[in-house]
Structure 1
Amino acid sequence: MAQLLEFTVGGLLDHIAARYPDNDALVYVDRGLRYSYRQFNEVCRKVAKGLLRLGVKKGDHVAIWAYNVPEWVVLQFATAKIGAVLVTVNTNYKSAELEYILNQSDSSTLFLVKSFKDTDYVATVNEVVPELAGSEAGALSSAKLPFLRNVVFIGSETPAGMLNFEAIAAMGEHVSDDELAAVEGTLDRHDVINMQYTSGTTGFPKGVMLTHSNIVNNGFNIGECMKFTEKDRLCIPVPFFHCFGCVLAVMACVTHGTTMVPVEIFDPLAVLRTIEKERCTAVHGVPTMFIAELEHPDFPKFDLTSLRTGIMAGSNCPIEVMKKVISQMHASEITIAYGQTESSPVITQTRTDDAIELRVATVGRALPDVEVKIVDIETGAELPPGKQGELCTRGYLVMKGYYKMPEETARAIDADGWLHTGDLAVMDENGYCKITGRIKNMIIRGGENVYPREIEEFLYTHPKISDVQIYGVPDRKYGEQVMAAVILKKGEIMTEEDVRNFCRGKIANYKIPKYVKFVDSYPMTASGKIQKFKLREMAIKELGLEGPGETA
């Protein structure tokens, strides 16, 4: 077994900045922003000191609600340098989801941008925290969110009651290097440093606690699978709030001195322009992103010959898309990765020299220092190659647990330290895995995990709805779409649009049911369990849906 890296996240950046001080660390094409590793580390140190001055302590929870702005990456390392836990908030979230996460995570500080797509973040925060606008910046007292003290705005024209990001950086001038070093000296690589929320079968999102060691080592091994060096340049159009952005991209780069070239909000043209302009050697994306890039009318105008590798993940990769990425985008060493937030996140990945068949038909083999086994769903016994069962993993990559949810943690990680993924898989004799389905009813829509129970719990709050079942149906573009089968209370009338309107502004758009069917009853097993697979089969027939079927 290889030696695991023993750095904290902040210590890693110090090490890489000393090793490759003049190498480009972070480049934003549209902003004309370019930090060398030395400069990037200095900015992160300054913001870390500013956070200390603000009163943020080791172990405090700092939430960030923003798309891929430069401040996001700075905060990932600045919080780590003082041992504060970065809580990543999905950019698609609306008011109910934001309130739940700020409350459940005990976040003391929230960083946010002005808006994203159709959501006004400032208005949403003021809706959730009505006391904010009238409070003194940095001295917030909220009835609903007792832990929240500071709201920090990223951008110009700071709204009432908020501090500004630039002010935090300026506050760092009043904190000495010795004070920062004293805090850094107390950190341990097994401390929790990152918390990401993943929805669950309980219907409520769970805060996955990841440590320095989890994400440093996972990032390093992901980079190794792509053969990253300090000469590589990665175009990052995937969101930072997701492990795809902050680990498969940011940590994979920083562990190797590789250059990060983010795209703030995904746009196929911006990705193509960025790759050409910065001569990127790698690009990440979910299959729908690669499809959008390949099908863009201006695609032939761009010189993408600098590309070599990258990662396609998030849902099943169609073989034709993979072939085009290799032949037309020149990413001949593109890889496939599989995992989940609870495993930091990558469990298996293909290698750059794997045959295309393996890169399309499988999700690769275990990363170094990672154990993978397939077990019988009923007995838990380990299965031989070629037999379908639940994929389990063990090693440095397994999360510390779910925040304040010990019972859920015990359900996910067994007494021997194996994380049970809930995914059905088959492993061949060479260790290559194929994901064949899911034990749980999770829907994967365009790379976003959608958990039916969470939407069901929300729709149960509608006064006209008696019962609701949420399930996935095939979709050519997104892999799967969300469908609702609704039983109304006696004498009530609703339309499909009424159901969707009730969701708008309250839950993320990608969770809103595309299809709604009103029914009188559900297909049941003899023991009274609802058969969602039958609802799905009926919907496919009735709606004439053709698609890729189950996505992994």
Structure 2
Amino acid sequence: MTAAASPPWVDGLTIGEMLRETARQSPDADALVFPQLDRRWSYAQLDADVDRVARGLLALGVDLGSHVAVWATNWPQWVLLQFATARIGAVLVTINPAYRAFELQYVLKQADIDTLFLLDKFRGSDYRAMLNEAAPELAGCDPQNVQLKDFPKLRHVIAIQGEPTVGMSSWESFLKGADAVSDTELSQRESHLNHADAINIQYTSGTTGFPKGATLTHRNLLLNAYYIGQCQQLTAADRICIPVPFYHCFGCVLGVLGAAVRGAAMIIPAEHFDAEATLAAIATERATSIYGVPTMFIAQLDHPTRSTLDFSSLRTGIMAGSPCPIEVMQRVVDDLGAREITIAYGLTEASPVITQTRTDDPLELRVKTVGRPLPDVEVKIVDPATGEELGDEQQGELCARGHLVMLGYYQMPDATAAAIDDDGWLHSGDLAVRLPNGYYRITGRIKDMVCRGGENIYPREIEEFLYTHPAVGDVAVVGVPDAKYVEELAVWIRLKPDATLTEQDVQQFCRSSLAHYKVPRYVKFVTEFPQTVTGKIQKFKIRETMIAELGLDESETA
């Protein structure tokens, strides 16, 4: 464990209090910049707009601890709602914008959503149509009094863009409601908040086949945001380019909160990752820090406009989500100028960062390790079978303890007990070794997980969905190496007698109800699976077979 040099100024504060203090210290500094929308907020303006949105939530009757969900790409309303929910003590539930109706239905019910804010459309996703598919009763509801049999907690649905459809309110009418709530009422609500309160539920795919809602506190998030900024040596003079999604901890914690605790600017290139927009935003807004997973950096490095732009302002940033090849890291340093880029490792359940490299670490350490623990975080390596703590250079499960550990999974006590032991250690499910210098290297996974382009996917979730197809008798999903996404999904399917399916049928079935990154790239129909003597499918043999048949390179993934 690395001890903090001095107590972080945010420790003991709520997220709302943190924003007020940053706005007091840097009122005129850029807080939030959307170049493509030609909009920007100073910290004073952001704080004032957050107050208005917070009063709008109070006007809806959103109580302490109520669950408010946002289902959208990276829009200004997302940031306003993140701070506003925290300011009134509501729990922000982040919904992946790639979710389909099947997944939305699950989250709305499992998370006890009280209020839902949603986008209208993005690319091939029609969010309103999917909501109506998940909750067809909504079309007959009064927007001021939503009552749905399958979702008894849901009372309000607000469209953050365009004219609302039946059963929904508009963003503009929502904001008008703020006029009925005084600043005094808002202050009274704020006085009841505590930094240890639950404030965010982030969904992560579950080994049980269903996503689990990691419940995080003000303190969890603020200390993580503070320390990841410290590892980058961020100050109020920095400008962070954030092309990663807000729904994920990378965007809303390391990005939004990481900037706010330092008084740095948040630069949002586009509503979804776009290499050209990201490069343009770095250059025109003079970004000093850039975030992303390796595939994002590769797309920027290979984009034809890169050589025409000036990246001399860029200094640092965070790369996370997947192992980074040394050639890519070298190009990020040489071609983008991010000479002090850092590598971070963690889990949603850990708020999310556990270990991080520092700006002055040699390049080799930033490629071959995931750094050392954040200050005041304990990390140990244990034998997965016995729980015995292991020494340096011994492979075992990485466990963490400290301010970053979630409260637990929402309404999943058994899953919580499996993840956090009686001594408060969070078990990552990842295999790692500790080097003699105190840095950690991730070596594999205990959990049956696939990491595709920075998205963690648990095959069991996809398998259970495929079992709902009437033609599927048995199924096994594995990850296989991929040059672009590090890993891709492959599925073996044994059909029921006399049933027929094509590869395209399987992919379309998944595409209709699952996020795009969960759609298997490879589909193979088989009559039997490799099994142990007890009948357990040997997925490692499936993976080996697919690698051989497809001529894939095993070295492309960890």
TM superposition score normalised by structure 2: 0.98
Is contact 1:131–1:140 with CA below 8 Å preserved after alignment?
A: no
Query: Does structure 1 residue 416 correspond to structure 2 residue 423?
Result: yes
Deviations 1:362-403 (A, max 9, x none): 010000010000001111111101110000000010000000
* 2:514 alignment counterpart: 507
In 2: Cα distance, 1:214 partner to 1:277 partner: 34
* 1:533 alignment counterpart: 540
* 2:553 alignment counterpart: 546
In 1: Cα distance, 2:172 partner to 2:403 partner: 36
Equivalent of 1:54, from 60, 72, 76? Answer: 60
Query: Does structure 1 residue 399 correspond to structure 2 residue 426?
Result: no
Is contact 1:445–1:479 with CA below 8 Å preserved after alignment?
A: yes
In 2: Cα distance, 1:374 partner to 1:525 partner: 29
Query: SS where residue 132 of structure 1 aligns?
Result: helix
Deviations 1:2-25 (A, max 9, x none): 325111011110111111111111
Query: SS where residue 193 of structure 1 aligns?
Result: strand
Deviations 1:401-423 (A, max 9, x none): 00000010000000000000000
* 1:367 alignment counterpart: 374
In 2: Cα distance, 1:75 partner to 1:214 partner: 19
209 and 128 in structure 1: CA distance in 2 versus 1, 3 angstrom threshold: same
1:31-430 equivalences in 2 (<5 Å): 31-263=37-269, 264-430=271-437
In 2: Cα distance, 1:116 partner to 1:342 partner: 28
Structure 1 residue ranges without an equivalent (≥5):
none
* 1:482 alignment counterpart: 489
Relative to structure 2, which stretch is displaced further, 336-345 or 142-151? 142-151
In 1: Cα distance, 2:93 partner to 2:367 partner: 33
Query: Does structure 1 residue 522 correspond to structure 2 residue 529?
Result: yes
Relative to structure 2, which stretch is displaced further, 348-357 or 163-172? 163-172
What do you get for the CA RMSD once the two structures are aligned?
1.0
Shift of 1:95: 0.5
Deviations 1:266-314 (A, max 9, x none): 1110001111111010110110110000101111011111000011111
Shift of 1:182: 0.8
In 1: Cα distance, 2:110 partner to 2:122 partner: 23
Structure 2 counterpart of 1:73, one-letter code: V
Is contact 2:432–2:442 with CA below 8 Å preserved after alignment?
A: yes
In 2: Cα distance, 1:383 partner to 1:14 partner: 45
In 1: Cα distance, 2:99 partner to 2:50 partner: 27
Is contact 1:282–1:331 with CA below 8 Å preserved after alignment?
A: yes
Structure 2 counterpart of 1:90, one-letter code: N
Deviations 1:199-235 (A, max 9, x none): 1110110110000000000000001000010000001
Deviations 1:54-81 (A, max 9, x none): 1111100001000000000000000000
In 1: Cα distance, 2:400 partner to 2:257 partner: 21
Deviations 1:159-214 (A, max 9, x none): 22211122222211221111111111111111110001111110110110000000
Is contact 2:547–2:554 with CA below 8 Å preserved after alignment?
A: no
Is contact 2:482–2:557 with CA below 8 Å preserved after alignment?
A: no
Shift of 1:134: 2.5
In 2: Cα distance, 1:237 partner to 1:530 partner: 39
Is contact 1:286–1:447 with CA below 8 Å preserved after alignment?
A: yes
Structure 2 counterpart of 1:196, one-letter code: Q
Structure 2 counterpart of 1:180, one-letter code: L
Relative to structure 2, which stretch is displaced further, 408-417 or 126-135? 126-135
Query: Does structure 1 residue 457 correspond to structure 2 residue 442?
Result: no
Shift of 1:452: 0.3
Relative to structure 2, which stretch is displaced further, 95-104 or 542-551? 542-551
Structure 2 counterpart of 1:172, one-letter code: A
In 1: Cα distance, 2:501 partner to 2:267 partner: 47
Structure 2 counterpart of 1:448, one-letter code: E
Is contact 2:120–2:162 with CA below 8 Å preserved after alignment?
A: no
Relative to structure 2, which stretch is displaced further, 486-495 or 431-440? 486-495
Shift of 1:550: 3.6
Shift of 1:527: 3.0
In 1: Cα distance, 2:339 partner to 2:429 partner: 32
Shift of 1:528: 2.6
Shift of 1:547: 4.8
Is contact 1:479–1:548 with CA below 8 Å preserved after alignment?
A: no
Deviations 1:85-142 (A, max 9, x none): 0000001000000000001000011101111221100111111111222221121111
Equivalent of 1:8, from 1, 7, 14? Answer: 14
